[in-house]
Amino acid sequence: MTPLASRVLVALVGLPVVLALVYAGGWWLFAFAAIAAVLALHEYALMTRALRPVTLAAYAGALLTLLGAELGGLDWTMAGFLATFAFAFVLHWVGQTRQSSTVAIAATVLGAGWIGLFLAHLILLRDAPNHGRLATFAVLLAVWAGDIGAFFAGRLIGRHKLAPALSPGKTWEGFVFGTIATVFVAFVTLYRQDFISIADSIFLGLVLSVAGPLGDLFESGIKRDMQVKDSGRLLGGHGGVLDRLDAPLFAFVAAFYLLRALDAF
């Protein structure tokens, strides 16, 4: 099976499942987020093994962060995440690894924050009291549309490199078409809904069109530092779980705080 065919197959199977879990919300979405976090952190630990992150502390911190998001909202989310510092320090101290405690603990907190805390914003967004389900659908669909638009435009007409030092395959042409697709889908999803204005829906699309690629480039920077191509092979042509989460992770955070700033919920 070609990489493109593999990507299409995974998308056809995975997207309806994810949307169904978002629709259900509650503990169903929490279970999905927890499984995704564990798989992504496993890939992160393998990528950054030279830094010796305290993997158990990252797992514990990420899961507590997600549990806090489900049970108590933003305050409990942050409490769960901050516990990562204590877990990392104690387990690194007990384990007596040769790696510098500063490096090991920093790598641990980065993993728990990037994956656990950012993924918790999916739950926070979905659990928002006013149109949380609609907002989550809009974010996911817009980011996926932008990713698809950027992928095909980059392959067909891409000539000018967007960030050659981080991700040689990304082009400005792909970014432009991805932005158009993201804004269009955000607008269509939220148009004529009693939620935010047309102007705000377009603004949300523009923010997502920047947040998604930044998330992608953030992961690319880590992979380049660690000299790995993909975070894993679990999803075939898509790479690993972390390769699929990189853009949505940044998008969840950006959308949540933008909609709060707009008094949407």
Same domain? For 117 and 151 the reply is no
Same domain? For 19 and 30 the reply is no
Same domain? For 20 and 31 the reply is no
Same domain? For 118 and 148 the reply is no
Which is nearest to 58 in space by CA: 97, 115, 118, 98? Answer: 115
Q: Please say which residue of 90, 106, 126 terminates a domain.
A: 126
Q: Please say which residue of 126, 158, 193 terminates a domain.
A: 126
Q: Quick check: helix, strand or coil at residue 162?
A: strand
Give yes or no for a contact between 196 and 264, defined as CB atoms under 8 angstroms apart. yes
Tally the domains of the chain.
2
Q: Please say which residue of 126, 147, 178 terminates a domain.
A: 126
Q: Please give the DSSP secondary-structure letter assigned to residue 229.
A: S
Domain around 229: 1-24+130-265
Same domain? For 159 and 257 the reply is yes
Same domain? For 260 and 195 the reply is yes
State the chain's mean pLDDT as an integer. 90
Same domain? For 134 and 231 the reply is yes
Per-residue pLDDT tens listing for the chain (265 residues): 566 666 667 667 778 999 999 999 999 999 999 999 999 999 999 999 999 999 999 999 999 999 999 999 999 999 999 999 999 999 998 877 777 889 999 999 999 999 999 999 999 999 998 899 999 999 999 999 999 999 888 888 888 898 888 888 889 999 999 999 999 999 999 887 778 999 999 999 999 999 999 999 999 999 989 988 777 666 665 578 998 899 999 999 999 999 999 988 7
Q: Please give the DSSP secondary-structure letter assigned to residue 191.
A: T
Give yes or no for a contact between 81 and 117, defined as CB atoms under 8 angstroms apart. yes
Length of the chain: 265
* CA dist., res. 64 & res. 70, Å (int): 10
Please name the amino acid found at residue 208.
L
Same domain? For 170 and 236 the reply is yes
Residues 37-70 have pLDDT tens digits of 999 999 999 999 999 999 999 999 999 999 999 9
Same domain? For 181 and 241 the reply is yes
Same domain? For 53 and 168 the reply is no
DSSP states of 77-146:
HHHHHHHHHHHHHHHHHHHT-SS-HHHHHHHHHHHIIIIIIHHHHHHHHHT-TTTHHHHHHHHHHHHHHH
Question: What angle is formed at CA 190 by the lines to CA 184 and CA 195, rounded to 5 degrees?
Answer: 150
Question: What angle is formed at CA 153 by the lines to CA 170 and CA 184, rounded to 5 degrees?
Answer: 105
* CA dist., res. 141 & res. 122, Å (int): 13
* CA dist., res. 153 & res. 158, Å (int): 6
Same domain? For 138 and 255 the reply is yes
Same domain? For 265 and 148 the reply is yes
